[in-house]
Structure 1
Amino acid sequence: MQIRRIARKILIPFLLTLIIVKVVGCTSSLPLPDIRPNPTPTPKVTSSRPRPKTIEDIAKKTTVFITGRGEPGSGVIVEKDKNTNTYYVLTAKHVVGIKPEQGERDYIIQTPDNQEHIAATSDNYDEKVIKLDDADLALIEFTAEENQIYEVAPLTNSLSSSIPVYAFGWTSCLKDDASLDKQFQQTKGGICELREDDEHGWDIRYTNNMDIRYTNNIVKQLSGGPIFDEIGRVVAIQAAFATVGEKEVGCNTIPKNPDNKYSDALGVSVEKNIHALNSKLLEKQSNNKRYKKSLFIKLDVDSKTAKNPNTKVKCRQPPKRCPPILPLGEEKCMSEFR
Structure 2
Amino acid sequence: MNFSFSRFNSVPGLLTGTAVVAAIVINQPASAKTAKEVAQIAVPTTVRIDNSLGSNYGGSGVIISRDGNTYTVLTANHVVKSANTEYSIRTSKNKTHNVISVQNLQRNDSDPDLAIVKFESTEEYPVAPISNSDNAGIGTGIYISGYPMSIENNNDREYEFTKGQITSRPESKPQGYTMRYDAVTRRGMSGGPVFDVSGRVVGIHGQGDRDGVIKNESATGGEIEIKTGFNAAVPINTFKEVISQSGVQVAFQEDNSQAENVEATQPTKAEVRSWAQDFAAGVVNTIIERVIPRFW
Contact 1:132 1:276 in 2 (8 A): no
Measured in 1, the distance between the counterparts of 2:153 and 2:160 equals 20
Change (3 A) 1:162 1:174: closer
Deviation at 1:307, TM superposition (A): 2.6
Deviation at 1:131, TM superposition (A): 1.9
Listed one character per residue, the Cα deviations across residues 23-42 of structure 1 (whole Å, up to 9, x for unaligned) are xxxxxxxxxxxxxxxxxxxx
Which residue of structure 1 lines up, in the alignment, with residue 259 of structure 2? 306
Measured in 1, the distance between the counterparts of 2:238 and 2:82 equals 24
Q: Which runs of 5+ in 2 are unaligned?
A: 1-28, 219-225, 264-296
1:296 aligns to what SS in structure 2? strand
Measured in 1, the distance between the counterparts of 2:116 and 2:243 equals 8
Which residue of structure 2 lines up, in the alignment, with residue 164 of structure 1? 141
Which residue of structure 2 lines up, in the alignment, with residue 322 of structure 1? none
Measured in 2, the distance between the counterparts of 1:86 and 1:210 equals 29
Q: How does 1:50-129 map to 2 (within 5 A)?
A: 50-69=33-52, 71-82=57-68, 85-100=69-84, 104=85, 106-120=86-100, 127-129=101-103
Deviation at 1:88, TM superposition (A): 0.5
Q: How does 1:111-190 map to 2 (within 5 A)?
A: 111-120=91-100, 127-133=101-107, 134-145=111-122, 148-157=123-132, 158-173=135-150, 178=155, 181-190=156-165
Paired letter, 2:51? G
1:182 aligns to what SS in structure 2? coil
1:76 aligns to what SS in structure 2? strand
Which residue of structure 1 lines up, in the alignment, with residue 183 of structure 2? 216
User: Does 1 or 2 have the higher relative contact order (CA < 8 Å, sep 6+)?
Assistant: 2
Which residue of structure 2 lines up, in the alignment, with residue 233 of structure 1? 200
Contact 1:278 1:296 in 2 (8 A): no
Deviation at 1:277, TM superposition (A): 1.8
Root mean square deviation, CA, Å: 2.7
Deviation at 1:308, TM superposition (A): 3.2
Contact 1:274 1:297 in 2 (8 A): no
Change (3 A) 1:154 1:244: same
Q: How does 1:264-279 map to 2 (within 5 A)?
A: 264-279=230-245
Paired letter, 2:87? Y
1:153 aligns to what SS in structure 2? coil
Change (3 A) 1:248 1:175: closer
Matched positions, count: 219
Larger radius of gyration: 1
Q: Which runs of 5+ in 1 are unaligned?
A: 1-45, 121-126, 252-259, 285-293, 311-338
Contact 1:241 1:265 in 2 (8 A): yes
Which of 252, 261, 266 pairs up with 1:297? 252
